[in-house]
Chains A and B, each alone.
Chain A
Amino acid sequence: MTAPGAVAAGQALPGLLDGLDLIRADFPILTRTLADGFPLVYLDSANTSQKPQVVIDAMVDHLERHNSNVARAMHQLGAESSAAFEAARDKVAAFLNAQSRDEVVFTKNASEALNLVANTLAWARGPLEIGEGDEVVITEMEHHSNIVPWQLLTERKGATLRWFGLTDEGRLDLSNIDELITERTKVVALTWVSNMLGTVNPVAEIARRAHEVGAIVVVDASQAAPQMPVDVVASGADFLAFTGHKVLGPTGIGVLWGRREIFAQLPPFLGGGEMIATVTMERSTYADIPHRFEAGTPPIVEAVGLGAAVDYLSALGMENVQRHEEAITGYALEGLATVKGLTVMGPTTAHQRGGAISFEIEGVHPHDVSQVLDSRGIAVRAGHHCAKPAHKRFGVQSSTRASSYLYTTPAEIDALVDGLEYTKKYFRVG
């Protein structure tokens, strides 16, 4: 069975990346077959992306030929490793249109990046200090990693946590923005693209309002950085976090970008090697950004892999990647609309929407949906996707999420739609 609206063989869907077959050939894992000979249909890229050969090779090459610690080693390999690590910082700075390479700090992941900001704000004195009566504003569609650090901060400081609610369509409800963002607001933290609903939020508009009241803006770009051009200056953000493994890079590395004027005011996060200027037994002075926030041996080979990953994305062109995502997402939304009993949570058109599509099927639990799909080689995610409040908002406990990326083909979406029809038959619903 073929999904209605399926693209006939040889007829391309407008907006797809040129040479999609060649691009797919860059990703060795995409040729894998799974149990019972089913080819892998990987629709879990919002969870983690697959890696192109160039990223794998860059990391292997570094380990085979240049491995050494950075900054501390005075020998030739030390110089090569330091150069490779710092070159990765340059690449990420360029990828984000950062005004200075020093504004890019490498972390363990996006969660650590967000926790870095929330923790150092708890310790800050002076203009950034947060105290009783102050407010932090987040949204109901955040990933837990952009909720919990702010709960911890406001609890510790006696401040108040407030949040934007969601509309039934899964967009931010901005109708009460002037009541939410007030003179008391010290921080507005929000996701650029929802990992559950797919919604793209008007970050620049909200940042403008936040800056009018003197609040700082923290943007979780974990889902935005993989699929759309991210210009930190145009975004209006003061801090922006994303993780390496969702942008074709390895796990174990994340990025925190911060606007220099504010970033340089934050006190240290972790203390240790490389983050100091000088240490005596009584006191220490600290390095300037970025090294102030990179205590200990950093994720070196991971940075090299991330550098190769953002270079790969830049070579494809993030505008082209975004167009591809929009085309595939639109095609997937059309296909899913043909499945009776299926409800999409979040916007039902590809406009201002990312590639993560969460849905429920009446009568079949998401776990069971993903289990049956997995038996046909189709990898999706089932659960609350670390966004329990957003699920609660839509009256569900969990959902099934299919998420595409730049290597996803219309044929894979057809396989998903067929797989869902099969799932319904298996569980005798509809």
Chain B
Amino acid sequence: MDLDSLYQEIILDHYKNPHHQGLREPYEAEVHHVNPTCGDEITMRVHLSRDGGEPVVADVSYDAEGCSISQAATSVMTDLVIGKTVPEALAVHEEFLTLMQGRGTVEPDEERLEDAIAFAGVAKFPARVKCALLSWMAWKDATSQVLGAEALRTDRATADAETKEQR
């Protein structure tokens, strides 16, 4: 069993020195996700900014407790998504998901996944895949909550405008 393929240096580095840790203001959505089988937990806040175009991931902050894989995955994820537009970040999320679900057969693209390529080995340990995905799922949930709320507000604004027009 190749332990070193699971616990790559990059993973251990992020575990010991996690990036973007802590809960910060401002944020539009906060979520709490758990892995019920092991009890790993994460509270995550997402802040999106918008300068006319696509919404941009301005900040992701978190308070998490869990194993080296889940902690490192969270750290790497924040590096990857912060500064990207939501569609770009979602595309990276999809690519990471494909890597994780590939049982070790998917060749990761370093250009796009950066430090997350270190998780290629995790895909060979089915019991640990959930650890690597916990924070990604939390981020996706929080982001869709923000966008959902925004969409709702936009809908309401449109509806209000329409009502006004009718008057």
**Chain A residues engaging chain B, CB cutoff 8 angstroms:** 34-36, 365-368, 371-372, 374-375, 382-384, 388, 391, 397-398, 426-427
CB distance from A411 to the nearest CB of B (A): 21
Is the pair A365, B39 in contact by a Cβ cutoff of 8 Å?
no
* Bound: A230/B57 CA distance, A: 60
Please classify how large the interface on chain B is, using the bins under 10, 10 to 19, 20 to 34, 35 or more: 10 to 19
* Interface mask (B58-73 → A, CB under 8 Å = 1, otherwise 0): 0000000111110100
User: Does B128 touch A at the CB level, under 8 Å?
Assistant: yes
Can you show 24 pairs from A to B with CB atoms below 8 A apart? A365-B66, A365-B68, A366-B67, A367-B38, A367-B40, A367-B66, A367-B67, A367-B69, A367-B128, A367-B131, A368-B7, A371-B125, A371-B128, A374-B1, A375-B1, A375-B3, A383-B39, A391-B39, A397-B40, A397-B41, A397-B65, A398-B38, A398-B40, A427-B12
CB < 8 Å neighbour of B39 from A34, A371, A375, A384: A384
* Bound: A382/B127 CA distance, A: 12
Q: Which residues of B contact A34 (CB under 8 A)?
A: 1
* Bound: A168/B3 CA distance, A: 36
Q: Which residues of B contact A35 (CB under 8 A)?
A: 1
19 more CB-based (< 8 A) A-B contacts, given A367-B69, A371-B3, A398-B40: A34-B1, A36-B1, A365-B71, A366-B38, A367-B38, A367-B66, A367-B68, A367-B128, A367-B131, A368-B67, A368-B68, A371-B128, A372-B3, A375-B3, A388-B39, A391-B39, A397-B39, A397-B41, A427-B68
* Bound: A426/B15 CA distance, A: 14
Q: Which residues of A contact B131 (CB under 8 A)?
A: 367
Q: Which residues of A contact B39 (CB under 8 A)?
A: 383-384, 388, 391, 397-398
Is the pair B3, A384 in contact by a Cβ cutoff of 8 Å?
no
Q: Which residues of A contact B3 (CB under 8 A)?
A: 371-372, 375, 426
Within 8 A of A (CB), among B20-59: 37-41
User: Does B133 touch A at the CB level, under 8 Å?
Assistant: no
* Bound: A427/B15 CA distance, A: 10
What is the chain B residue whose CB lies nearest that of A382? Answer: B38
What is the chain B residue whose CB lies nearest that of A367? Answer: B67
Is the pair B38, A384 in contact by a Cβ cutoff of 8 Å?
yes
CB distance from B117 to the nearest CB of A (A): 20
CB distance from A21 to the nearest CB of B (A): 28
What is the chain B residue whose CB lies nearest that of A364? Answer: B68
CB distance from A418 to the nearest CB of B (A): 16
Is the pair A365, B12 in contact by a Cβ cutoff of 8 Å?
no
Q: Which residues of A contact B125 (CB under 8 A)?
A: 371
Q: Which residues of B contact A384 (CB under 8 A)?
A: 38-39
What is the chain A residue whose CB lies nearest that of B12? Answer: A427
Is the pair A383, B37 in contact by a Cβ cutoff of 8 Å?
yes
Q: Which residues of B contact A391 (CB under 8 A)?
A: 39
* Bound: A64/B98 CA distance, A: 45
Of the listed residues A372, A382, A397, the one surrounded by the most CB atoms of chain B closer than 10 A to its CB is A397
Q: Which residues of A contact B38 (CB under 8 A)?
A: 366-367, 382-384, 398
What is the chain B residue whose CB lies nearest that of A377? Answer: B1
What is the chain A residue whose CB lies nearest that of B2? Answer: A375
Q: Which residues of B contact A382 (CB under 8 A)?
A: 38
What is the chain A residue whose CB lies nearest that of B71? Answer: A365
What is the chain B residue whose CB lies nearest that of A384? Answer: B39
What is the chain B residue whose CB lies nearest that of A398? Answer: B39
Q: A36-B1, A384-B39 are in contact. Are A426 and B67 (CB under 8 A)?
A: no
* Bound: A228/B56 CA distance, A: 62
Within 8 A of A (CB), among B106-147: 125, 128, 131
Is the pair B41, A371 in contact by a Cβ cutoff of 8 Å?
no
The list of the 8 closest CB pairs from A to B, nearest first, reads A367-B67, A365-B67, A35-B1, A384-B39, A375-B1, A383-B38, A398-B39, A375-B3
Q: Which residues of B contact A36 (CB under 8 A)?
A: 1
* Bound: A285/B41 CA distance, A: 50
CB distance from B131 to the nearest CB of A (A): 7
* Bound: A36/B37 CA distance, A: 28
* Bound: A402/B123 CA distance, A: 26
CB distance from A365 to the nearest CB of B (A): 4
Q: Which residues of A contact B99 (CB under 8 A)?
A: none
User: Does B86 touch A at the CB level, under 8 Å?
Assistant: no
Q: Which residues of A contact B66 (CB under 8 A)?
A: 365, 367
What is the chain A residue whose CB lies nearest that of B16? Answer: A428
User: Does B6 touch A at the CB level, under 8 Å?
Assistant: yes
* Bound: A364/B131 CA distance, A: 15
CB distance from A311 to the nearest CB of B (A): 35
* Bound: A140/B100 CA distance, A: 37
What is the chain B residue whose CB lies nearest that of A383? Answer: B38
Q: Which residues of B contact A427 (CB under 8 A)?
A: 12, 68
* Bound: A391/B40 CA distance, A: 13
* Bound: A426/B40 CA distance, A: 22
CB distance from B135 to the nearest CB of A (A): 15
* Bound: A71/B153 CA distance, A: 65
* Bound: A371/B12 CA distance, A: 14
Q: Which residues of A contact B65 (CB under 8 A)?
A: 397
Q: Which residues of B contact A388 (CB under 8 A)?
A: 39
* Bound: A372/B12 CA distance, A: 14
* Bound: A311/B83 CA distance, A: 66
* Bound: A397/B66 CA distance, A: 8
Q: A365-B67, A365-B68 are in contact. Are A371 and B37 (CB under 8 A)?
A: no
Q: Which residues of A contact B7 (CB under 8 A)?
A: 368, 426
